[in-house]
A and B are shown apart, each in its own frame.
Chain A
């Protein structure tokens, strides 16, 4: 981004009437253009908000952090540079470089980092923190020639790396990846001595722009994609299996095709992290099944949840997989070596992200795996991620049984499912799954509203609010935590602010059981739902319409007696928990 573009974005957003989103930029140097770029990058990511980036006093990083604790922010971005640890590691303070006192620079740095670690931890208890470690080169402080690493220099970097590792372990702290920064902003083109001496801003504009973009991504953390659909021939393996036969396709070093094996490994890793993997191929199904029997495949048939193989179009195959997964097209990536088939899928499913597999271009294939890591990267791997593939299989089996019965999910089928529902009312702000469900569920979503981490924490800290989460399993498998309800308790009514449920949990009457639990647990006469119709929450509208015998209007009120009269028979074994 150019500085003029950043300023233009900020000017346009000044007229915005969106909710405020306030970020503290904490750094020891004059924030100047970094503040401008960060503001603009955040504004582009938080389009519904009116972003404000506030900075502290020049040179007082610690003081600014200490002062933050009582302020009302949505996030904090801390950008460290060497001169914050000891002014002798900067260029604005003269004197004190003598070889005899290099140890004292190290000692001061260790002391500073220890204090900073405590401050970051304190702030992280109330606000999400993103942290950038030093990005600039050392000035010529050390006595070794430039091509020789200095022991003190290496130990300084070691202390910072340890600090970064400890910070990244904190639950509400994300550390900027120095490798990505090196890739996007070459280290030799970062420092601006003229600007540092004249205004106290040490960065070249290009570096400030890249740093701001990565910090903004850390603050926003785009939702990871859920599924990847891959082509097979000349993508998952080299060769066209229908022409060269099962033994003629390769993905190994011996046949100079290790890059296909590397791609397989990437998909296998993603599958293990809870990403749904599907394959779409124009082939004879029997020969593809035979290919998947090869024991030297890096990815196994079990890692692939749906195999759509036919002579039909790729767009049809993608439709089939999307239906089996029951996820939105915008959360799916399609990879194929054929530009024509990518175009066909893109036309039929414009929300699917289509990526070309650069067949024959090893560097391009490596870069593709980096791109996949960005699209599917997540903060943590949850239990729900681990069970997702099994639960999709279980769902498929349940739906197959339901389809075999004339009335779909009949009482008999649900009774035989041996369903267990665990309801938990502990308000744990570190429950990342509840936060994730609210921010990524589209279909069964009361009003489509998303929340920021800071707003989520603040909501849960309010003693008048409640949080109810539901975990589900049956004989077809565990679905993990699949529903979240938040609200407030009044004298005679419950006000529900948020209600989301994973699409994998549809048709099991879990929504009815949740409502029943709300009435029973909180013993109120009615529930008022902050329902808003969105372009994607039709399943919620349908649920209300069936319960109310009419199309829902906003807000929706349901009395206990009405619910009792309309609730279908429920078969879950319900367990209640509160982990607080």
Chain B
């Protein structure tokens, strides 16, 4: 499975198992009460493991939604 979007859905699904795929794709810290700082740590660890990248601490505050994480991954892949 090389599609980064599908792989990201898998990561989000492991953390927010109660959400549908559509809900995962629209997830953000402002719409999901269960997305707290500990969830972010788990989510980032999953993403680092899945995509074999290291997310900088300074980037964390920008990664607040499915879309922003996907954009970050695409940018990281391009560079």
Contact of A201 among B11, B41, B57, B60 (CB under 8 A): B41
Give the contact-size bracket for chain B: 10 to 19
**Residue of A at shortest CB range from B11?**
A4
Which of B10, B46, B57 contacts A194 (CB under 8 A)? B57
Q: Does A8 contact B (CB under 8 A)?
A: yes
Complex Cα distance A197/B58, Å?
13
CB of A455 closer than 8 Å to a CB of B: no
Complex: A2 Cα to B42 Cα, angstroms: 12
Q: Are B10 and A4 in contact (CB under 8 A)?
A: yes
What is the CA–CA distance of A36 and B41 in the complex, to the nearest angstrom?
A: 13
Complex Cα distance, B38 from A36, in Å, reads 12
Given A11-B17, A33-B42, A3:B49 Cβ within 8 A: yes
B46 & A3 in contact (Cβ 8 Å cutoff): yes
**Residue of A whose beta carbon sits closest to that of B41:** A199
Out of B41, B50, B54, which one reaches A32, CB within 8 Å? B41
Asked whether A240 is an interface residue with its Cβ less than 8 Å from the other chain, the reply is no
Most B CB contacts (10 A, CB to CB) among A11, A194, A199 go to A199
* 8 Å CB contact of B45 from A8, A33, A197: A33
Cα separation A3 to B54 with both chains bound (whole Å): 15
Inside 8 A of B41's CB, which chain A residues have their CB?
Answer: 32, 198-199, 201
Chain A interface, number of residues (Cβ within 8 angstroms): 15
B45: chain A residues at CB < 8 Å are 3, 33, 205
Residues of B with C-beta under 8 A to A198: 41, 57, 60
Q: Is the interface of A mostly helix, strand, loop or mixed?
A: helix
Interface residues of B in 1-56 (CB under 8 A from A): 10-11, 14-15, 17, 38, 41-42, 45-46, 49-50, 54
Which residues of A in the span 17-67 have a Cβ within 8 Å of any Cβ on B?
32-33, 36
Interface centre among A4, A8, A32, A36 (most CB of B within 10 A): A4
Docked-complex contact B42 and A4, CB < 8 angstroms = no
CB distance from B31 to the nearest CB of A (A): 21
Q: Do A7 and B15 have beta carbons less than 8 Å apart?
A: yes
Q: How many whole Å from B46's CB to the nearest CB in chain A?
A: 6
In contact, B14 and A32 (Cβ under 8 angstroms)? no
Taken together as a complex, chains A and B put the C-alpha atoms of A243 and B14 apart, in Å, by 61
Residues of A within 8 A of B49 (CB): 2-4, 205
Choose from A7, A194, A205 the contact partner of B14 (Cβ within 8 Å): A7
Chain A residues within 8 Å of B46, by CB:
3-4, 7
Residues of B within 8 A of A (CB): 10-11, 14-15, 17, 38, 41-42, 45-46, 49-50, 54, 57, 60
A-B contact sample (7 more), CB < 8 A, given A4-B14, A7-B42, A32-B38: A3-B14, A3-B42, A3-B46, A3-B49, A198-B60, A199-B41, A205-B45
Can you list 15 residue pairs at the A/B interface with Cβ under 8 Å? Answer: A2-B49, A3-B14, A3-B49, A4-B10, A4-B14, A4-B46, A7-B15, A7-B46, A11-B17, A32-B41, A33-B42, A36-B42, A194-B57, A201-B41, A205-B45
* Top 9 A-B residue pairs of the complex, sorted by shortest distance between their CB atoms: A7-B14, A11-B17, A199-B41, A4-B14, A198-B57, A3-B49, A3-B46, A4-B46, A3-B45
